[in-house]
Structure 1
């Protein structure tokens, strides 16, 4: 049997006693919608790629009443056990926002809302049964707080989880949401924000990271743009470059504890190509989505971060003197300054450097940029390839 024990330290997650980056794949519907053999195939692939956590939802969107069925948690436990035995961390959303009043999903339609005592009892039972798999519990999924009722529900649910486990607890917030009521904040161990899938507001990757980092708790961007997802109004699908950009902009701006990746077809567990919603472009199947390249990019990023000890970082935008472009993100620790540039450019940095090298993030080729050291400034030229780059400066 495998199994993991992921804990929170001062500046990172610790997996089985070793510093690690939380790197989750998102399979919200997969845990309850997949057949067992498909679920195992999916998990083995993600494990082999380098993911160490799986985000899943325990309150099915199709019918929230399913949680009342006697054998519902039995079916989920069979699949969560495999996550654990493969050495990954189950990340369990206990109560999705669609069955709680006063969220974006229920503010105009309360037909799917469940009584608060039923959800409290469900939360207790989930913790009781799944605590042995060393999970992370997210009390809510895609949550905003548009009324006092939402705060009442989620404060009780979060409190119930926290009082019945010693595992990390948080709440998965809706896209762009930053307000975490005090009644809930007091029970969570880290912030799990969502920069989301709006093509026109991808600056939320770094803006929200900055905002939550200031609050003093660990920060995760639990939902960057899903690879392959798109909206009908745009006719655009996010590609591996978008995924890399969202990952590194989040990470270097304060989301130092980790990232939640997702692929369109897996989060929704699509089994027949072409499934659509009112807003989204048609879906890939989960098997096709499993082969998307962006997953390898984020796993490569995790390997880099752990191998080169990119822990204990602090956002350091003041190092970048030019160009004045917030898409370029900078962070540093006692050993390194790390810069992500999503486009080829020249940069002037307010820093003295001992050694500078870079990685072409599209090809993963290592290169040495042209550098000019003058007046305690470092001028770096990365115009030798037309793609995004990671620049590592060693002091």
Structure 2
């Protein structure tokens, strides 16, 4: 809701904070939807259904917000058609209630309007893109982006724990395979990130970026911790070839001000205002992942925990799932420890590694001490938090 609800001063405050912390992409919804029924001025993007009429003043105001994102050196990621087909407020979401042709026309209008900006298009938001809706959304995607004349790349944002990678393998208009792991720390959710269909399919389908577009939000539940958010972030980055990840805070996405509640969502009185949410710990910590991976040829890394771990702690306790990424020549290994753990790694090529520990809480590194040159390398992570071990061959 940031682009819909914020004042110019608030938007600048938010973008300044995000740029400073190392974010590079800003997601926002481009029309009224179930979580925001109008903009700050009380306007909606369009009216009607079988016949729609655009509100140009709504888009003129939105123009300034989109331009401002780019002026800060950030990429705009507009969600064109919010689409959740169930739950309260679905009647506000154009991706749910607009007829087929009108949905295409509305999306094409927004693509034309913001095609001069630096953008990553998110066609649908929180939608069901399989089952009875699969052909509907494939045709919308082809209708909006199928000619290939648009600037920018295209993603889909599915509802929780939905994977469309295989079903959409022949949809050339879809550039990013997004998924949503949802907002839980339960075994079902953690196992879905680490062992789910994305993990099984990534090397069986044409190569495209795969990324978690909605891991658990900070403050979405009263007991969510910074560690919970970091674990979902790093597990997601290590579960498939590295591409990217999203951070969300439960007070920022609805752009909450003092005394407000979230439209069409359950009451969450513990949630901070949007401005106070800028100070939440994970909001600072998650961008350290970007700074960390920029030290490597990250696009070459592939998951390797099944190949290189002697024993997987996550088989006994799902919260202790250890993830490994490797470079093609095995000369760089990255190991994510979600907690205090002892593990053993197979040194496949008998290389001599030096090591360092990266701390995702503060973004610092220190030397790792271990017995190098062995066929089995033993490591102890003794901090009561998550850590990343970096191994480089000499």
Question: Which TM-score bucket, shorter chain as reference?
Answer: 0.7 to 0.9
1:130-279 to 2 correspondences below 5 Å: 130-145=114-129, 147-148=131-132, 150-162=133-145, 163=147, 164-179=149-164, 181-182=167-168, 185-200=171-186, 201-208=189-196, 209-211=198-200, 213-214=202-203, 215=205, 216-230=207-221, 236-254=222-240, 256-273=242-259, 275-276=261-262, 278-279=265-266
* Larger deviation, residues 186-195 vs 202-211: 202-211
Please give the alpha-carbon distance, in whole angstroms, between the structure 2 residues aligned to 1:353 and 1:196: 40
Q: Is the 8 A contact 1:369 1:381 kept in 2?
A: no
Cα displacement (A) at 1:146: 6.0
Q: Structure 1 residue aligned with 2:64, among 68, 72, 78?
A: 78
Cα displacement (A) at 1:171: 0.7
1:332 matched to 2:321? The reply is no
| 2:345 equivalent in structure 1 | 349
Please give the alpha-carbon distance, in whole angstroms, between the structure 1 residues aligned to 2:22 and 2:92: 40
Q: Is the 8 A contact 1:55 1:90 kept in 2?
A: yes
Poorly superposed stretches of 4+, deviation over 4 Å:
105-112
Alpha carbons of 1:329 and 1:110: their partners in 2 closer, same or farther (altered >3 Å)?
Answer: same
* Larger deviation, residues 354-363 vs 259-268: 354-363
1:66 matched to 2:45? The reply is yes
Please give the alpha-carbon distance, in whole angstroms, between the structure 2 residues aligned to 1:366 and 1:141: 37
Deviations 1:9-66 (A, max 9, x none): xxxxxxxxxxxxxxxxxxxx11112222211211111011111100111132244863
Deviations 1:89-127 (A, max 9, x none): 0011110104xxxx3459997997122222211111111
Cα displacement (A) at 1:271: 1.3
Q: Is the 8 A contact 2:355 2:369 kept in 1?
A: no
Counterpart of 1:330 in 2: which secondary structure?
Answer: strand
Greater RCO (CA < 8 Å, at least 6 residues apart): 1
1:368 matched to 2:367? The reply is yes
| 1:24 equivalent in structure 2 | none
Please give the alpha-carbon distance, in whole angstroms, between the structure 1 residues aligned to 2:363 and 2:21: 16
| 2:102 equivalent in structure 1 | 118
* Larger deviation, residues 181-190 vs 66-75: 181-190
Alpha carbons of 1:280 and 1:55: their partners in 2 closer, same or farther (altered >3 Å)?
Answer: same
Counterpart of 1:188 in 2: which secondary structure?
Answer: coil
1:281 matched to 2:281? The reply is no
How many residues in Structure 1 have an aligned counterpart in Structure 2? 356
Counterpart of 2:27 in 1: which secondary structure?
Answer: strand
Cα displacement (A) at 1:364: 4.1
Alpha carbons of 1:203 and 1:121: their partners in 2 closer, same or farther (altered >3 Å)?
Answer: same
* Larger deviation, residues 185-194 vs 278-287: 278-287
Please give the alpha-carbon distance, in whole angstroms, between the structure 2 residues aligned to 1:183 and 1:379: 40
Please give the alpha-carbon distance, in whole angstroms, between the structure 1 residues aligned to 2:88 and 2:102: 17
Question: Unaligned regions of 5+ residues in structure 1, if any?
Answer: 1-28, 231-235
Alpha carbons of 1:372 and 1:331: their partners in 2 closer, same or farther (altered >3 Å)?
Answer: same
1:51 matched to 2:47? The reply is no
Alpha carbons of 1:206 and 1:60: their partners in 2 closer, same or farther (altered >3 Å)?
Answer: farther
Please give the alpha-carbon distance, in whole angstroms, between the structure 2 residues aligned to 1:133 and 1:71: 19
1:302 matched to 2:290? The reply is yes
Counterpart of 1:368 in 2: which secondary structure?
Answer: strand
Please give the alpha-carbon distance, in whole angstroms, between the structure 1 residues aligned to 2:136 and 2:87: 14
Alpha carbons of 1:108 and 1:52: their partners in 2 closer, same or farther (altered >3 Å)?
Answer: closer
Alpha carbons of 1:381 and 1:225: their partners in 2 closer, same or farther (altered >3 Å)?
Answer: same
Q: Is the 8 A contact 1:97 1:141 kept in 2?
A: yes
| 1:292 equivalent in structure 2 | 280
| 2:308 equivalent in structure 1 | 319
Cα displacement (A) at 1:183: 8.6
Counterpart of 1:226 in 2: which secondary structure?
Answer: coil
Please give the alpha-carbon distance, in whole angstroms, between the structure 1 residues aligned to 2:59 and 2:248: 24
Please give the alpha-carbon distance, in whole angstroms, between the structure 1 residues aligned to 2:373 and 2:310: 14
Counterpart of 1:199 in 2: which secondary structure?
Answer: coil
Q: Is the 8 A contact 1:220 1:255 kept in 2?
A: no
Please give the alpha-carbon distance, in whole angstroms, between the structure 2 residues aligned to 1:365 and 1:120: 47
